[in-house]
């Protein structure tokens, strides 16, 4: 299937790979930049609707938990109101959400697990999900921590570790060794979105989970990436200090539903995906 797709947040970590994957598959992609359309402004949506997309993929969000604590009207418009406003356009919509809707105490999480967010970001994403999850033309795809090609390694909470190692010039870098994460390659998520495109809002609705397969702490991620960027793994120092803004311990997302419907894209092994990113 191909057609017209509107990708919001198309300059971002996930959006950029989504734009690329759909374009390569022959879709006509519209992906307005933030400067072209401020999606916190309801008036911007009318202009987007004029593109008459067959599918919308919503990758626009503020996803840095520290920045989400100040719940400004513009932030809430983006993280909470935007998905419902996009859904009101009546076009099949895939809305990207997060494992942070869970508190991390009861992994692995199935798609129907109860939301219990620990911080403002998680509460905002949970509220957005609640507003659209019952709509038959909306599919919510939850993903965990992402990494992949980007302008700056600091754009991902995974590859920022590589930036920190290089910047430290051989000195020690403390890395969280508490929280369990399954780093997920944006190119895999983009392929998953392509696989979902013909079905989303056309028989497949509700919530699906996509995730990398390997559980690890940031410290273990650092040990894997250090040799790939010419750094000494001994620079990586495990840090077991709890974060200032609470974050879940282990939000492993079960991908059972995607497997059951026969649409699950196998994730690229972490080391191979990193090698293609750094």
The residues of the shown chain that bind ligand NAP, judged by CB under 6 A, are 9, 11-15, 33-34, 37-40, 59-61, 63, 78, 96, 98, 143-146, 155, 157
Query: Which CB atom, from 39 or from 120, has the smaller least distance to ligand NAP?
Result: 39
Query: Which CB atom, from 131 or from 157, has the smaller least distance to ligand NAP?
Result: 157
Query: Which CB atom, from 12 or from 104, has the smaller least distance to ligand NAP?
Result: 12
Tell the smallest beta-carbon distance from residue 173 to ligand NAP (Å). Answer: 19
**Beta bridge mates, 97:** 142
Distance between CA 58 and CA 65 in Å, rounded? 19
Residue partners of 71: CB distance under 8 A and separation at least 6: 120, 124
Tell the smallest beta-carbon distance from residue 42 to ligand NAP (Å). Answer: 12
Long-range contacts of 221-225 (CB under 8 A, 24+ apart): 221/158, 221/161, 221/175, 221/181, 221/183, 221/270, 222/161, 222/165, 222/173, 222/175, 224/270, 224/271, 224/274, 225/159, 225/161, 225/162, 225/165, 225/274, 225/278
Distance between CA 33 and CA 7 in Å, rounded? 10
Query: Which CB atom, from 186 or from 235, has the smaller least distance to ligand NAP?
Result: 186
In this structure, the number of other CB atoms found within 10 A of the CB of residue 7 comes to: 31
Query: Which CB atom, from 45 or from 166, has the smaller least distance to ligand NAP?
Result: 45
Tell the smallest beta-carbon distance from residue 239 to ligand NAP (Å). Answer: 19
Tell the smallest beta-carbon distance from residue 136 to ligand NAP (Å). Answer: 21
Tell the smallest beta-carbon distance from residue 144 to ligand NAP (Å). Answer: 6
Beta strands in 125-196 (DSSP E): 138-143, 146-147, 173-176, 184-185
Residue whose Cβ sits closest to ligand NAP: 12
Query: Which CB atom, from 233 or from 251, has the smaller least distance to ligand NAP?
Result: 251
Query: Which CB atom, from 8 or from 235, has the smaller least distance to ligand NAP?
Result: 8
Tell the smallest beta-carbon distance from residue 114 to ligand NAP (Å). Answer: 19
Tell the smallest beta-carbon distance from residue 32 to ligand NAP (Å). Answer: 7
Distance between CA 63 and CA 213 in Å, rounded? 22
């Amino acid at each position: 299937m191909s057609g017209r797709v509107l990708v919001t947040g198309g300059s971002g970590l996930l959006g950029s790979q989504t734009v690329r994957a759909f374009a390569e598959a022959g879709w006509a992609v519209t992906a307005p930049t933030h400067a072209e359309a401020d999606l916190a402004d309801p008036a911007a949506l009318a202009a987007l609707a004029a593109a008459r997309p067959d599918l919308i993929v919503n990758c626009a969000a503020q996803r840095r938990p520290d920045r989400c604590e100040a719940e400004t009207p513009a932030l809430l418009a983006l993280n909470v109101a935007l998905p419902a406003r996009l859904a009101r356009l009546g076009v099949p919509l895939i809305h990207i959400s997060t494992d942070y809707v869970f508190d991390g105490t009861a992994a692995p999480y199935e798609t129907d697990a109860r939301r219990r967010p620990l911080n403002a970001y998680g509460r905002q994403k949970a509220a957005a999900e609640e507003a659209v999850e019952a709509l038959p033309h909306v599919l919510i795809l939850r993903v965990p921590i992402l990494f992949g090609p980007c302008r700056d390694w600091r754009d991902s909470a995974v590859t920022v570790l590589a930036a920190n190692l290089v910047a430290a010039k051989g000195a020690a870098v403390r890395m969280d060794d508490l929280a369990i994460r399954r780093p997920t390659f944006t190119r895999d998520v983009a392929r998953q979105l392509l696989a979902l495109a013909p079905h989303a809002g056309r028989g497949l609705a509700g919530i699906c989970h996509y995730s990398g397969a390997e559980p690890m702490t940031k410290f273990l991620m650092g040990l894997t990436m250090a040799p790939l960027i010419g750094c000494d793994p001994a620079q990586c120092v495990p840090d077991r200090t709890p974060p200032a803004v609470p974050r879940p311990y282990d939000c492993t997302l079960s991908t059972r539903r995607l497997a059951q419907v026969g649409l699950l894209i196998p994730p690229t092994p972490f080391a191979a995906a990193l090698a293609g990113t750094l």
